[in-house]
Amino acid sequence: MAIAVKNLSKRFGSFQAVDGVSFEVPAGELVALLGPSGSGKSTILRIIAGLESADSGEVELTGEDATNLPVQHRGVGFVFQHYALFRHMSIRQNIAFGLEVQKLAKVEITRRVDELLGLVQLSGFAERYPSQLSGGQRQRVALARALAPRPKVLLLDEPFGALDSKVREELRTWLRKLHDEVHVTSLFVTHDQQEAFEVCDQLVVLNHGKVEQMGPPQTLYEHPSTPFVTEFLGSVNVLKVETVMSMERGGHPEPSLTLPGRSGPSHVYVRPHDLEITRAINGRPAWPSRIRKLTRLGGLVRLEMALDDGTNLLVQLTRERCLELALEEGEMVFVTPKDMKVFHEPTAFVEDYMI
């Protein structure tokens, strides 16, 4: 493994920032640390880089114990959110900085800088200064500077957080393409689910300083192991079991979900795109529901629904399906779930139900 974190813990005063975190990053992969603010993402990254010391636990880099190594001996490249470029240096000088610290020959430095300028698509900007570049261009320079000394691993701390949404989207695509070319093991901190899904091979989902779940993005989305992961990775309706049990089949309420005995309460989770709308029950379990609001979002349509028991539902349909049904605000229709997940507390045991 290129990065191995073992039982890492870090406290700031009374705040437990990292609490017994363990995970591994395979060589050549791009992995995201994903979680809300305060979940410990950046602290873990800084501990791996040697910018923070852990209270306990170990860090291994490419098979070697790096827990107590100084920053300069870890072979780590670090990209910050706010670029951290030297304003008084040209782009060429910024990229060359780490190579000059290593005291490489001038001809080797020139060759490596030219190679990286081409890699980040800034060959014509070598003699400009950071103030003469856009935010996206500056972040590409920062990435080139981090890659220049050929680090063992690359760490990126919300590198696109200071950029507008369109530039972020462009750089996400560019970063994934760049990673596929250079294959440097990378750990990427973000709180943006879409960003993580588009860029990374695997996700480590963090909450309150602990790992909730790790795995490929689509696997976590389709098979979350906890309610937190379910809610954090996308919009979801959280329903009472009684609501699900009251679905109708053939015009009258009929139990539609059999739950084994559990020691605690259960909640049902269903994503908006896993709900179908029809004008008749058609023998399948369904809720009579009124369309409160219909919002068109380009190729998708979001429906805010109200069930008879007062439960609110969000439903997502394609534009074509909405036009086919000729849906209008205020009318009554039937809603059928295609897939539901039931979490049983306090164990967070999860079961999948296909309707």
Lowest mean pLDDT among 67-76, 176-185, 256-265, 305-314: 256-265
Q: What is the mean pLDDT of residues 277-282?
A: 85
Assess contact for 123 and 117: CB atoms under 8 A: yes
161 and 57 in one domain?
yes
pLDDT of residue 84: 81
Classify 266 as helix, strand or coil.
strand
Lowest mean pLDDT among 173-182, 207-216, 258-267, 290-299: 258-267
Q: 141 is written with which tokens? A: 């320079």
Q: What is the mean pLDDT of residues 155-175?
A: 83
pLDDT > 60? residue 255: no
pLDDT of residue 263: 53
252 and 220 in one domain?
no
110 and 253 in one domain?
no
Q: What is the DSSP string of 38-56?
A: TSSHHHHHHHHHTSS--SE
Q: What would the pLDDT profile of 108-147 be if each residue is shown by its tens digit?
A: 999 999 999 998 889 999 999 999 999 888 888 998 999 9
pLDDT band at 254 (very low <50, low <70, confident <90, very high): low
247 and 187 in one domain?
no
Lowest mean pLDDT among 14-18, 50-54, 181-185: 181-185
pLDDT > 70? residue 253: no
% the chain with pLDDT above 90: 64
pLDDT of residue 181: 86
Assess contact for 337 and 355: CB atoms under 8 A: yes
pLDDT > 70? residue 224: yes
Mean pLDDT of the chain, nearest integer: 89
pLDDT > 90? residue 208: yes
174 and 114 in one domain?
yes
13 and 151 in one domain?
yes
Assess contact for 229 and 210: CB atoms under 8 A: no
Lowest mean pLDDT among 63-72, 182-191, 213-222, 279-288: 279-288
Q: At what angle do helices 91-101 and 135-147 cross, to 10 degrees?
A: 20
Lowest mean pLDDT among 133-142, 241-250, 289-298: 241-250
pLDDT > 60? residue 226: yes
pLDDT band at 349 (very low <50, low <70, confident <90, very high): low
pLDDT of residue 33: 96
CATH of the domain at 38: 3.40.50.300
206 and 266 in one domain?
no
| Boundary (domain end) residue, out of 199, 232, 265 | 232
Three-class SS string for 125-170?
HCCCCHHHCCHHHHHHHHHHHHHCCCCCEEEEECCCCCCCHHHHHH
Which is nearest to 11 in space by CA: 58, 55, 68, 67? Answer: 55
Lowest mean pLDDT among 33-47, 51-65, 232-246: 232-246
CB atoms within 10 A of CB 332: 10
Please give the model's pTM, rounded to 2 decimal places.
0.88
Q: At what angle do helices 135-147 and 165-182 cross, to 10 degrees?
A: 20
In whole angstroms, give the CA distance from residue 114 to residue 91. 11
Q: What is the mean pLDDT of residues 274-303?
A: 90
pLDDT > 60? residue 172: yes
| Boundary (domain end) residue, out of 195, 212, 232 | 232
Assess contact for 7 and 22: CB atoms under 8 A: yes
349 and 271 in one domain?
yes
241 and 184 in one domain?
no
pLDDT of residue 355: 63
How many domains, the chain? 2
Q: What is the mean pLDDT of residues 69-88?
A: 88
246 and 227 in one domain?
no
% the chain with pLDDT above 70: 92
Lowest mean pLDDT among 112-116, 145-149, 158-162, 236-240: 158-162
pLDDT of residue 240: 82
Instruction: List C-alpha distances in Å: 251 to 5, 33, 285, 306, 334.
Output: 56, 48, 10, 18, 11
Q: What is the mean pLDDT of residues 185-205?
A: 92
| Boundary (domain end) residue, out of 204, 232, 260 | 232
Q: What is the mean pLDDT of residues 83-109?
A: 91
272 and 215 in one domain?
no
DSSP code at position 71? G
pLDDT of residue 264: 59
340 and 209 in one domain?
no
Assess contact for 263 and 299: CB atoms under 8 A: no
CATH of the domain at 269: 2.40.50.100
pLDDT > 60? residue 257: no
Domain that holds residue 14: 3-232
